Structure 1
Amino acid sequence: MHLPVMPPVSPMLAKPVGRIPPGACYEPKWDGFRSVVFRDGNEVELGSRNERPLTRYFPELVEGARSELPVRCVVDGEIVVAVGGALDFDALQQRIHPAASRVEMLSERTPAAFIAFDLLALGDYDLTALPFRRRRALLVDVLAGAGWSFHVTPATTDIDTAQRWFGEFEGAGLDGLIAKPPNLTYQPDKRVMFKVKHTRTADCVVAGYRPHKSGDDAVGSLLLGLYTDDGALAFIGVIGAFPMATRRALFSELQPLVTTFDRHPWNWAEPATDRTPRHAAGSRWSAGKDLSFVPLRPERVVEVRYDHMAGGRFRHTAQFGRWRPDRDPRSCTFGQLETPPAYRLGDIVPGLDYGM
């Protein structure tokens, strides 16, 4: 492979802001795996945000790149999977599997698509020093009618349209907006774009904690739950961004609530459900990370901030808001969560609703 921009490349990043900034080019924020695609003839490589190749996991995108992309190019974008007409991040995660036979099977059962939003190189030309508005125009031109696998993200310079997208597109699994200054050059690994995400709150039950990696008497993260309609406590995510002094204080405060698993709603003697964290087991998504935790009696309630739900869990780590000693844990149910109205992926990007 010999391109004017060679792998690996760390993608350009976005910094969070509280409102949509004026005077920018606005795009939907896709919920998938960030990837930079390199094509030089038949050679194709799918890079990732951490610069590790994703190529072997998405053979359908490798074939799609060979038939739909320019012969020599470098394209920045997002790998996504659609199921039932909406983005499905859980299905996307399952695509990262060590067995080649399963990779091949999933490439047919839950095929991925690539949402392109920047063009870093074309032919012999490095485009990273060009302003974004020119790179965007070239991207639209070279991917016009690309095919089934590769799509160009919608974009607008109208802030009212961007505000409407922000409200509507969440119903298809997207999670906000990206704003790019029109004269922005491509700057790998720099937070020079802007992202606007939804912010909501929920009152959750604290049902366990993971010890801090330092090995000290400190809390690493708190495990959160909500009650279902049938009275079961479902795991929905964690919070963990605490100062070290707070982590140590929490460790002391929570010791009176420590219990055993046979007295806990997440009883590991029973078969695990898809809403229950795995006890003392590794995860292929976390490269052997220990997912065990210390069970607590579910008696404390915390208000957290989150952006959106995916598969019955917080899509990203929630943020601590405040303790709610006034709240009955049993009143913390899924009913308090806001559910955005459904929206068709095919109305955002034509041809992307193949999962319907």
Structure 2
Amino acid sequence: MKEFLVQETIVTATGVRLARNNNQTIQIQKRTLDFLHWITDNHPEVSIFKLVGVKDTGANITVEVKFSKWNGRSYLYHPEIVSPVPYNDDKVPIDEETIQKLQNEIIRKHDVEHLPARSKLKSIKDIDLFTATNIYLYERRMCLIRTMKLMGLRPEELHELPLELNNNIRRTKQITAPTRKRGDPSLVRRFKIDFPSARRFNQYLEARQEYIDFLQSKGIYCLQPNNFFIGENGKALKKSSITKEFDRLCEGAGLTSSRVCLSMFRHRFVTREINIRLEARFAKKPHLKNGWTPELRDSVCLEVAELTGHADPDSLYNYFYAEYKAITSISSYSEKLRIRDELESAKEDLVNLEHQSRLRKIDLTSELQLIRTRINEMHSKLFGFE
């Protein structure tokens, strides 16, 4: 089983790649052991010998019972469980160029005028339904990218965003998200956002409600109307559907040659949040730039862990070390990061204007291209030689 999980490949539009990384393989192995252990305890009649058990119990699979040093919970350990992906390979923040490619792919997928003939077949039966669905799916996919940039959520947290706590974002300028993998479903995190981000977030909520209202006018009702994300034609949307949709966007954007996954948004978020807190502390105590202290590291990582939902702040140490080194070795690092974010915010507005102009059939191609060119020129001047 281990060899199959590690070596399995899949064929994509751009070639052959591994089906999963080691962290995904670990989860499959652990859940399999848990399932076999459950069968052993609850259905002993299945086998004369235990399927899973500790040493000297005659079990087919011998495991050890270990306890997490973070939360004290027990778990099953087997030496054939693969090792986690190393830090340098697994914790790379997603870059702005990759995000732009993903957004361009979303625009391409929803540009009705240039869709392939087979994609337009859905419009033959009901052009209004096709148009409404196309508009909503565009907003949902853009919201996915923007929300991951803002908060770096886990996929299940993104899927379970509470609608009732996020229906007045423009006033509160705050997004509330659940915290998973902590064993306490009541844990929530709150993220402060600026007005442009609140406006874009609210844009999705308005598109969502308009789509629901349209479906109801057609006699189509949502299976899960209180969910933040809804599926095509009101169907339920599974967590796995979000991940698969992201994978398809990556394939369409030609990003399969390098591993791109939703967790890279999380790494980006952690990096930015550590940067913000380090700069705030340096402003008050400049001598901290001469060398980090355990107190500095622990206080920064604790604050960021409260936003990310990490049970143990120690797991953020590698992020801290990398960001501290970048800030203290490159004098303009943080200022460039701030300017880069402002340029990317301007690009976000351009993406939205381009979409709205297509919906309203107003040709702003030359005007938008002029602005985009100017932004790219500024970006190249600032970051072209990094």
Structure possessing the higher radius of gyration over alpha carbons: 2
Output the TM-score relative to the length of structure 2: 0.25
The structure showing larger relative contact order (alpha-carbon pairs under 8 Å, at least 6 residues apart) is 1
**TM-score under structure 1 length normalisation:** 0.27
Q: Which has the higher strand share?
A: 1
